[in-house]
Amino acid sequence: MQVIQIIPSISLIYGGPSQMVLGLAPALARQGVEVTVLTTDSNGDFGQKPLDVPLNCPIEQDGYKIIYFRCAPFRRYKFSLDLLRWLNRHADEFNLAHIHALFSPVSSFAATVCRTQKLPYILRPLGTLDPADLRKKKQLKQLYAAILERSNLAGAAGLHFTSTQEAKVSERFGVSTRDLVIPLGINPIKKAGEEEVRSKLGISKDIPLVLFMSRIDPKKGLNLLLPALETLLSEGFDFHFVLAGTNPQDPGYEEKIKLQIQASELRSHTTITGFVTGELKSALLQAADIFVLPSYYENFGIAVAEAMAAGTPVLISDQVHICQEVRDSESGWVSATDVLELISILRIALQNPSERQRRGLCAQEYALKNYSWDAIAHQTIQAYNQILSHL
């Protein structure tokens, strides 16, 4: 089976949804699928240099091929005419295309090319069909959907959702679709220096570490989390908050959050790390006593799964679409998007170290069983075969 994975960017700066392809592609290759990834050299939207990679030629890595194309014109939208031209010339060499992202011009036009070339394709919306996300730039998205995305949905062999809840709430613009629910995978969390990272950040091993690790964006619920933490400080709880993340697409909001922390009692109980990766990321995930993500909407939450794999209990909102899995596996706690409820649950979690440990072990067991890339690749290949057998 020969499959193309198409995604606007795989830069670390865009977070988990983009990076997902770098986990899926080698896992598919290990199970015998010939994978070619098409992407751009996009590496941020506000003056960052493009990725330093060879362009327009296949690069062999981890059993699959990846081809980067110049992001031009319209760098802000991660567009590439070269990518679309390549796809148009080579589409007949593949059995299937797996396109990641909607409302992104290169993905939208890639789907159009696939239809023209009679190449079946799967679309992964990345949460963009969630009604909460569609409300942002509503009129523009309605127009975009009418011109491009509705036809792309109608022509797709399947829509790849990463949770049952994402599939349930997603808009289809009146189109009937075949839905494929396949979660995202995670790489095993390498054992890292928990004590070293606490020492480096000046956090005593006796003080609970509360970790937020995600894009610093209004949808992530920091307007709920920061007041909740401030209230707990005023009640006499002792903890240290680590804010790990950035927002290359909205640096103004990131700065606003930093200033808000600096102006509150949290400032002496908070470390702001910026974007983290590699050993520091692993160490933080393992050193944390609670991972918190009270998002207003989240189609999966890859950082949640990573925290679970590290053995850290999670506290997420009921709008993070793997909340039912967290509830059922007792991998942490689930809150409404409400400050008072968040305070109440954080209070319980901070007061009960043995319960944090128990839920952390449950989280790790569930994540390693259900979110390994090999398991995800197996599910994905089953979906590919099902689609191809019905052509």
The residue among 20 and 55 whose pLDDT is bigger is 55
Q: What per-residue confidence (pLDDT) applies to 192? A: 74
How would residue 306 be classed by pLDDT, with cut points 50, 70 and 90? very high
| Each residue's pLDDT tens digit, 182-237 | 999 988 787 777 788 898 888 888 999 999 999 999 999 999 999 999 999 999 99
Domain identity same for 300 and 221: yes
Tell me how far CA of residue 197 lies from CA of 106, 124, 216, 236, in angstroms. 40, 36, 22, 25
DSSP 186-226: BPPPPP--HHHHHHHHT--TTSPEEEEES---GGG-HHHHH
Q: What per-residue confidence (pLDDT) applies to 73? A: 65
Q: What per-residue confidence (pLDDT) applies to 74? A: 61
CA distance 349 to 311: 15
How would residue 354 be classed by pLDDT, with cut points 50, 70 and 90? very high
pLDDT > 90? residue 278: no
How would residue 312 be classed by pLDDT, with cut points 50, 70 and 90? very high
Domain identity same for 81 and 221: no
| Each residue's pLDDT tens digit, 235-277 | 999 999 999 999 877 889 999 999 999 999 999 999 999 999 8
Domain identity same for 48 and 140: yes
List of residues 6+ apart from 100 with CB closer than 8 A: 5, 6, 7, 8, 17, 18, 20, 21, 107, 124, 126
Q: What per-residue confidence (pLDDT) applies to 99? A: 97
Q: What is the dihedral of CA 170, 316, 325, 373, to 10 degrees?
A: 80
The H or E element containing residue 280 is: helix 278-287
pLDDT > 80? residue 6: yes
β partners of residue 240? 209
CA distance 245 to 220: 11
Q: What percent of the chain has pLDDT over 90?
A: 77
Cα-atom radius of gyration of the chain, to the nearest Å?
21
Domain identity same for 208 and 259: yes
Tell me the pairing of strands 314-317 and 290-293: parallel
Domain identity same for 155 and 252: no
Question: Which one, of 134, 93, 91, 98, lies nearest residue 113 by Cα?
Answer: 91
pLDDT > 90? residue 109: yes
**Mean pLDDT over residues 353-379, rounded?**
95
pLDDT > 90? residue 5: yes
Domain identity same for 181 and 32: yes
| Each residue's pLDDT tens digit, 38-97 | 999 988 766 678 889 999 999 999 999 999 999 876 666 688 999 999 999 999 999 999
Q: What per-residue confidence (pLDDT) applies to 43? A: 83
CA 159 to chain centre: 17
Q: Is 219 exposed, middle or buried (0-12, 13-18, 19+ CB in 10 A)?
A: middle
Rounded mean pLDDT of the chain?
93
Tell me the pairing of strands 64-69 and 34-40: parallel
3-state secondary structure of 114: helix
Host domain of residue 256: 194-370
| Each residue's pLDDT tens digit, 147-175 | 999 999 999 999 999 999 999 999 999 99
- Contact of 183 with 322, CB cutoff 8 Å: yes
22-36, 65-79, 146-160, 292-306: least confidently modelled range: 65-79
Domain identity same for 206 and 161: no
Domain identity same for 116 and 58: yes
pLDDT > 90? residue 358: yes
How many residues belong to the chain?
391
Q: What per-residue confidence (pLDDT) applies to 46? A: 64
Domain identity same for 246 and 144: no
Q: What per-residue confidence (pLDDT) applies to 333? A: 98
Question: Which one, of 294, 233, 299, 306, lies nearest residue 266 by Cα?
Answer: 233
Domain identity same for 137 and 231: no
Domain identity same for 382 and 256: no
pLDDT > 80? residue 13: no
**Mean pLDDT over residues 354-378, rounded?**
95
Domain identity same for 159 and 224: no
pLDDT > 80? residue 18: no
Q: CATH number of the domain at 108, please.
A: 3.40.50.2000
If one counts the domains in the chain, the total is 2
Q: What percent of the chain has pLDDT over 70?
A: 97
What is the amino acid identity at position 322? Answer: I
